[in-house]
Structure 1
Amino acid sequence: MTRLPAPAPAPLPLSRRAVLGGIAAGGALLAAPALAQRALPHVVVIGAGPGGATAARALARAAGAPRVTLVEANADTITCFFSNLYLGGLVPLEHLRHGHDRLAATPGLRLVHDRATAIDRDARRVVLAGGEMLDYDRLVLSPGIDFVPGSVPGWSESDAALMPHSYKSGDQVALLMQQVQAMPQGGTVAIVTPPAPYRCPPAPYERAAMIARTLRRVNPTAKILILDPKDHFTKQVLFEEGWGRHADGMIDWIGPEFGGAAVELRPDRMELLVEGEVQRVDVCNVIPAQRAGVLAQLAGLTAADGWVPVRAESMQAQADPAIWVLGDAADAGAMPKGAFAAHAQAYVAVDAILADLAGTAPHPPFYESACWSCLAKGDSVKLASSFAPHDGRIEQTATSISQPAEDAATRRATYDEAFSWYHTITAEMFG
């Protein structure tokens, strides 16, 4: 694989630098003082993920900050990012669980544990399931993903107790781990992967590596089948090299040429039909096709493809300049859907919102993304990119990627960097 020029800033320090006044958030802090000269506007943020929680805390901590209300349905968060490492036995589940006490204690931020059920864009009002109505001057929407109904024939979310998706925050990842550990010796795990675009493109393949790590300890004759509708996937050379080194032939990838795009499920029988041929499995992880979270759909912000088009320079929804959409729900051009990307988008949005409220010009946006994938303990690979607006779209400007056959010290440094990043981003999200 070729190595392109790496982004000038290192991905790990960016979020820290942004909080302290760097390229992304620093501009937002400079834009804010004019807000103190008049009655404080109200910014409502929906969703306490990498986009929403980061934006809410940055807005609340800005000089002359607006009033900020953060709406989050869950009492705590089990992060989707890093959850594969739990499946590999590298981190306990509690490492992924984050309470919201410190988030709620952020000065200037009101946290409401409730579910937003509707957005009245004409009235600029958010309706909550508990009956409260929140009027807003600006709205930040970070609703994550929902699944496309019927995208995997024979499976619906009502079948997730039998065939878990484990692709949203919550306890599904614990259920998948229980099923993997309880399967019979020599059994089969199937992973049904989604078509692009979807949350965290490398995640299904890292998941296979991590499940294999667990099975090698408790069930070394088991098999893992990856059923894939795509004819290639991100970091494919690195993953296949890692599977060969660490999984002892346990993992088989089945692309569309051999039936990976023609899969039907029978959850009650734990069966897959692959081009009409029955395949009995013991565990089936189903990752369906995806679209923006339902609230974005109800608000009329999504395009025909199910994602929210945004303005490349600010993350504003193209359908409504009073709404900013962050993270997986947004059609952010070349940016992948992932935690790092959502985190970077949050700082661009904060700068734009504060400038908008103050009547000043925002600073030039700076976007970047990085994704670490774990192949085994002490062996991780990384893809990092930077992005900029171009002709109305967010386009990639530079990228770097781990190389095959890297030495053990390099891979160990990448592995350790991933843990450092996780600590940094969760501290910035939750306090």
Structure 2
Amino acid sequence: MTLNRRHFLRTAAVASAASLGASRTWGAGHGKPKVVIVGGGAGGATAARYIAKDSKGEVDVTLVEPTRTYYTCFFSNLYIGGFRSIESIGHTYGKLAAEYGINVVHDWAVGVDRDAKTVTLAGGSVLNYDKLILSPGIDFVDGAVAGWDVTSQNAMPHAYKAGSQSQLLKAQIESMPQGGTFAMVAPPNPYRCPPGPYERVSMVAHYLKENNPTAKIIVADPKPKFSKMALFQEGWANHYDGMIDWIGPDFGGGDVSVNADSMEVTIDGEVTKVDACNVIPAMKAGRICELAGITEGNWAPVSGHTMESRVDPNIHVLGDATNQGDMPKSGFSANSQAKVAAMAVRGALTGSKVFPAKFSNTCWSLIETEDGIKVGASYQATDEKIAKVDGFISATGESAELRAQTYEESVGWYAGITSDMFG
């Protein structure tokens, strides 16, 4: 499967056109139906744009996002590795407001009253909604890594919410002494962007190979295997032989504590002094899902047919925050789910035609310069979950030409999806 910016946008346009149908006017006296969307990433920004664009002004869309510049978590590892600038992964909301009439509110959503159908913002405003879409991404499970909490994130960054955390981690890697040690504490399943930590290891190794070749990388991992494991391990052996020490649960990777004050990592009782440390804790749905009372455990269960919350039919949940079935927690997944939700919401509010839900995902990773790999699948909604239909993955031993093509494909996809999100 080859995907570039033009193909991605053409596919998106076809999906959008397919969702258009005969519409009706919202009931007399009600004015325009109101949709509030919380979270301006791959799920929320896409949903806002598609509802506004396809409803042709029939729906009042408000997008709540605290940051004025949104940095994508996907491709942030390439910034850490020196392949992208921080500016290239930052995006603003001006086109959504100017071209699509979306009311973009830069504030935090701090409460949802499901009975009154209102969202309360930190600044004191209260927004009414007919349909609410929550796409808040992830937060972290308290106490997931012994010795670490969010007050430790300056000393031991997670960099799993891109932007300043990404810049901080990159700066710490660049400041490592020659021959120093970088440590990563990898997260348990499920977590945002399954290949993400291991692409990050590759990008850190790329930087160190060029600038600090005697440095070492330790990865403490509670999982016995991870996405694209054979591909990453092949790449690490080929490009960074002897630099990366991956420690799985059989050797103590699940028995980890950290001390941010002394910059120490303890793995299975053995204390190691480190110079930079990336702690990626266990994850859960963004806080607003808990405040709305729509989570079960750490995630928000949804129907794959519409991305509708299984707790409240007037709330749809997208992306990383969901418990939806077989799809990974990736930007591509959130974008795909957003189009299904947008179609369902617009259908409910305007009477436009709704087609059966279909989903797709691809996750690309860069191991070394032009050494790109990918994994992906297509999915369909069942009454129980979003179910995988078929899939594909890069093979070990692929030619350098194919790997370079895979990397270029990912660059084209990034341009396409960010255009699809932000206009």
Letter of the 1:298 partner, please give it: L
Contact 2:263 2:274 in 1 (8 A): yes
2:174 matches 1:184: no
Contact 2:42 2:421 in 1 (8 A): yes
Counterpart of 2:207 in structure 1 is: 214
Give the SS at the match of 1:119.
strand
Report the RMSD for the aligned CA atoms in angstroms.
1.6
Counterpart of 2:254 in structure 1 is: 261
Cα deviation, residue 18, structure 1: 4.8
Contact 1:18 1:347 in 2 (8 A): no
Question: Residue 272 and residue 48 in structure 1: after superposition, are their counterparts in 2 closer, same or farther (change >3 A)?
Answer: same
Give the SS at the match of 2:261.
helix
Of 321, 328, 343, which aligns to 1:329? 321
Contact 2:318 2:334 in 1 (8 A): yes
2:183 matches 1:166: no
Deviations 1:184-229 (A, max 9, x none): 1111100100100000010000000000000011100001111000
The separation in 2 between residues aligned to 1:363 and 1:74, in whole angstroms, is: 33
Cα deviation, residue 361, structure 1: 5.6
Give the SS at the match of 1:284.
strand
Counterpart of 2:19 in structure 1 is: 28
Deviations 1:264-291 (A, max 9, x none): 1111011111111111111110000000
Deviations 1:219-269 (A, max 9, x none): 000011110000000100000011111113211110000000000111101
Contact 1:28 1:350 in 2 (8 A): no
Give the SS at the match of 1:150.
coil
The separation in 2 between residues aligned to 1:87 and 1:327, in whole angstroms, is: 24
Letter of the 1:412 partner, please give it: A
Counterpart of 1:345 in structure 2 is: 337
Give the SS at the match of 2:99.
coil
Cα deviation, residue 19, structure 1: 3.9
Contact 2:4 2:412 in 1 (8 A): no
Counterpart of 2:242 in structure 1 is: 249
Question: Residue 37 and residue 126 in structure 1: after superposition, are their counterparts in 2 closer, same or farther (change >3 A)?
Answer: closer
Counterpart of 2:130 in structure 1 is: 137
Contact 1:191 1:226 in 2 (8 A): yes
Contact 1:183 1:283 in 2 (8 A): yes
Counterpart of 1:3 in structure 2 is: none
Of 252, 264, 267, which aligns to 1:274? 267
The equivalences for 1:56-205 within 5 A come to 56-64=48-56, 65-205=58-198
The separation in 1 between residues aligned to 2:372 and 2:244, in whole angstroms, is: 18
Question: Residue 286 and residue 270 in structure 1: after superposition, are their counterparts in 2 closer, same or farther (change >3 A)?
Answer: same
The separation in 1 between residues aligned to 2:270 and 2:238, in whole angstroms, is: 31
Counterpart of 2:415 in structure 1 is: 423
The separation in 1 between residues aligned to 2:4 and 2:299, in whole angstroms, is: 26
2:385 matches 1:393: yes
Question: Please, which runs of 5 or more residues in structure 2 have no aligned partner?
Answer: none
The separation in 2 between residues aligned to 1:36 and 1:103, in whole angstroms, is: 23
TM-score (normalizing by structure 1)? 0.94
Cα deviation, residue 169, structure 1: 2.9
**Equivalenced residues, count:** 420
The equivalences for 1:225-240 within 5 A come to 225-240=218-233
Letter of the 2:196 partner, please give it: A
The separation in 2 between residues aligned to 1:379 and 1:35, in whole angstroms, is: 52
Contact 2:26 2:33 in 1 (8 A): no
Question: Residue 15 and residue 347 in structure 1: after superposition, are their counterparts in 2 closer, same or farther (change >3 A)?
Answer: farther
Give the SS at the match of 2:303.
coil
Cα deviation, residue 89, structure 1: 0.8
Cα deviation, residue 103, structure 1: 2.5
Deviates more, 1:273-282 or 1:230-239: 273-282
Letter of the 1:26 partner, please give it: A
Cα deviation, residue 101, structure 1: 1.9
Deviations 1:330-377 (A, max 9, x none): 112000000000000000001111111234662100101110000111
Contact 1:78 1:98 in 2 (8 A): yes
Letter of the 1:34 partner, please give it: R
Give the SS at the match of 1:403.
coil
The separation in 2 between residues aligned to 1:310 and 1:15, in whole angstroms, is: 26
Cα deviation, residue 83, structure 1: 0.5
The separation in 1 between residues aligned to 2:12 and 2:53, in whole angstroms, is: 9
Contact 2:5 2:415 in 1 (8 A): no
Identity percentage of aligned residues: 47
Contact 2:131 2:345 in 1 (8 A): yes
